Amino acid sequence: MTNKIAQYFKFDELGTNFRTETLAGLTTFISMVYILFVNPSVLGDSGMDKGAVFTATALASAFGCFVMGIVARYPIALSSSLGINAFFSYSVVIGMGFPWQTALAGVFVASILFIILTAFKLREKIVDAIPRDLKMAIAAGIGLFIAFIGLSEGGLVVANKSNIIGLGPLNVGTTWLTIVGLILTLVLMSAKVPGAIFIGMVGTTIVGMFTHLIAVPSHIVSGVPSLKPTFMQAFYHVTDINSLQLVVVVLTFLLVTFFDTTGTLVGLAEQAGLVKDNKIPRIGKALAADSSTMVVGSLLGTSPMGAFVESSAGIAVGGRTGFTAIITGCLFILGMFFSPLLAVVSSQVTAPALIIVGILMAQSMSGIDWKKFEIAAPAFLIIIGMPLTYSISDGIALGFITYPLTMIAAKRGKQVGPMMYGLAVVFIIFLWILNTK
């Protein structure tokens, strides 16, 4: 049985094994487990039952990981996308005044459109049409983006009225916990210790407990919250999508998820070394996995699902196959029963891992032809745009709009494919819709 699994996932060909893949799956799970607690909190503000959202998030994430792992065989985990869940609660429900059931129906309709686009291989064609330099820029940009998330969540950088952002306060215990964890992980990585990122996270957790910065859970096992309050509500309220404003909401869900998840898949595939001749093998299956997961998530009761950048933590540990994603999916199932224990994984524990992974992904910048300004400019805007706009899709938009312009100015317009010209127009409309509401 173990030999068949190794053959199916091509362990030998990809230079991996059961131990590495399992550790990678565990590392990915620990890096993204916060979503089980963050998503219910954000969606709960819209009036949704937090317990039901917790269970829906866990089940939909597990489903996505299993499909991605078994069908696409990629070490990429899926869960509820951050940012778009805030748009769901604070813009659609609270800002526009729509019931959460209607907003959930909007997610369901967007997910069906998502599947149609995937079935016609439009997303696959878009991925293949992106020049390699821009693919490398996407990977590097995501690296800076998640490093920035780690620095922010860990308290090392904070909002600052005088100069927008600055160094966080060094008289706060949790900030020092992040610093200790970062130093520990940097030392382990530099010493080339196997599983350095995971060991660093465990070490940070232990230090946090000893210093009482992380609470020791009073009990380990808990019951699984009921899914009933949100189950199938998206389907029952599809007829609520009956106004132009809601059509715009559906298109926003579609566009943000489309480019966020597509960009993340490209970046993670680059990091894992899976891109061959500027093409990603089995990309159609990977795209089908995330689009089907979005449908399942909406029916269970959660905001749009997508590929998670935290998968890069598992890839950095050595994950190269779908077995990594399967392990992560199994842990999401188990996570429903051990929520008190998972609460010890604070942002200070995951922050050092995200910063280290950002360093690793930033290496993709070396593959960009910086000597040609018409390439360097859009690549730079993608890289810097992601962390500064706090959005993968916005960063991609800045670069993709600029790319045809710089290429035309350099008298290389004929080298830009029709798809890239079309994407520039789409992104202009995309940014207009998102920023003129």
Does 351 or 178 have the greater pLDDT score?
178
Q: What is the mean pLDDT of residues 234-243?
A: 87
Q: What is the pLDDT of residue 243?
A: 78
The confidence score (pLDDT) of residue 435 equals 65
Mean pLDDT, residues 182-187: 94
Question: So what's the pLDDT on residue 407?
Answer: 95
Q: Which residues contact 230 (CB under 8 A, 6 or more apart)?
A: 48, 49, 52, 53, 56, 104, 300, 301, 302
Most confident of 86-95, 143-152, 231-240, 312-321: 231-240
Q: Is residue 5 predicted with pLDDT exceeding 60? A: yes
Q: Name the pTM for this structure.
A: 0.73
Three-class DSSP category at 306: strand
Please give the pLDDT value at position 247.
Answer: 79
Label residue 376 exposed, middle or buried (CB < 10 Å: 0-12, 13-18, 19+): middle
The pLDDT assigned to 436 comes to: 60
Average pLDDT across the chain, whole number: 84
Query: What is the share, in percent, of the chain residues with pLDDT greater than 90?
Result: 26
Q: Give whole-number Cα distances, 86 to 46, 92, 384, in Å.
A: 10, 9, 23
Q: Between these two residues, 6 and 382, which has the higher pLDDT value?
A: 382
* Rounded Cα distance, 63 and 84, in Å: 20
Structure confidence by residue, pLDDT tens digits, 100-134: 999 899 999 989 988 888 888 887 787 778 888 88
The model's pLDDT over 388-399, given as tens digits with 9 standing for 90+, comes to 888 777 888 899
> What CA–CA distances, in Å, run from 180 to 185, 214, 251, 342?
9, 14, 44, 21
Check whether 296 has a pLDDT greater than 90.
Answer: yes
* pLDDT on residue 126: 78
- Biggest distance spanned by C-alpha atoms of the chain: 67
CA distance 185 to 203: 9
What's the Cα-to-Cα distance from 16 to each of 23, 76, 202, rounded to whole Å? 11, 16, 23
Q: For residues 387-411, give the mean pLDDT.
A: 88
Tokens of 401: 């709009």
Token match 């009036």: residue?
A: 47
- The residue-averaged pLDDT of 213-219 equals 80
SS3 label, residue 92: helix
Domain ranges within the chain, ordered by starting residue: 2-363, 369-437
Average pLDDT rounded to a whole number, residues 218-245: 85
**Model pLDDT, residue 341:** 65
**Residue 278 pLDDT > 70, yes or no?**
no
